[in-house]
Amino acid sequence: MDKVTFVGAGPGDPELLTIKGKKAIDGADLIIYTGSLVNPEVLRDSQAEIVDSAGLTLEEVIEKIKGARGKKIVRVHTGDPSMYGAIREQIDLLEDLGFECEVIPGVSSVFAGAASLKSEFTLPGISQTLILTRIEGRTPVPEKESLEKLAQARASMAIFLSVGRIKEVQQKLLEAYPPGTPVAVVYKASWPEEEIYRGTLKDLAKTVEDNNITRTALIYVGDFLGSSYERSKLYDAAFSHGYRSGSK
């Protein structure tokens, strides 16, 4: 059966590509990649025919794949394909055409950004929930998932694809989070040109605008970025579990 392998290229740093993803890319005959987002260094060792899909429609991508039947075909997406990767529509069409589809996960920019911030989304006593979302744009967001409604949980939040509408993001977040809530903006996480900006929610829009950040950035919001938290029970000397006896 003809097969297409979808590979998550990671956030940008080619060393964050998974071993399995690297093997698929290096063994491909045809690679179709999102050139507007994927670091081309990820493809540097490949001898495949390489097609940039940035200027192609969905139907044109499918035609390219159909024309490569019998070859090893790899579709490369930025970050992890399951997060804003638009893979479902491709897989449905390809499976209707008789292609087998495989998905190899990648490191999402949300975790690369957190690594650069040296932050933990799930701090004891602070937050045990992470919300990944975006503000509505040309792609609508269900009303029940509007930013201001999600913000009511006051959980750790990472906002994709929204820095270009930063004033609106700030306004919606302020409906639930206090103005002094810690925030961070990470531009091009893990790339050589990565930039990090920290501050509070009341200054979020000004920080972004002053630094001319208009795209390719993640917005982080929540008290997980602050200095207060409780120590984990897992490593508490008093805490007993299946591998260690404590006083409790």
Average pLDDT, the chain: 94
Q: How many angstroms separate the Cα of 224 from the Cα of each of 98, 159, 203, 235?
A: 46, 15, 18, 19
Give me the helices (H) in the chain, please. Answer: 19-26, 58-66, 88-96, 109-117, 147-150, 166-173, 204-210
pTM: 0.91
- For residue 196, pLDDT over 90 is answered with yes
Mean pLDDT of 99-112: 98
90 falls in which pLDDT band (50, 70, 90)? very high
Q: How far is CA 145 from the centre of its chain?
A: 18
Domains and CATH numbers, the chain: 3-104 (3.40.1010.10), 109-225 (3.30.950.10)
Report pLDDT digits (tens) over 154-195.
999 999 999 999 999 999 999 999 999 999 999 999 999 999
Determine contact, residues 163/219, Cβ cutoff 8 Å.
yes
H or E stretch at 161: none
CB under 8 Å to 218, separation ≥6 — which residues? 109, 110, 113, 158, 159, 160, 163, 185, 186, 189
Rg for the chain, CA atoms, rounded: 21
- Tokens at 10, concatenated: 């990671």
- For residue 247, pLDDT over 80 is answered with no
pLDDT number for residue 228? 80
| In the block, residue with structure tokens 């449905």 | 92
Q: State the angle between helix axes of 58-66 and 88-96 in degrees (0 to 180), rounded to the nearest 10.
A: 40
Determine contact, residues 60/15, Cβ cutoff 8 Å.
no
Q: Are strands 73-77 and 3-8 parallel, antiparallel or unpaired?
A: parallel
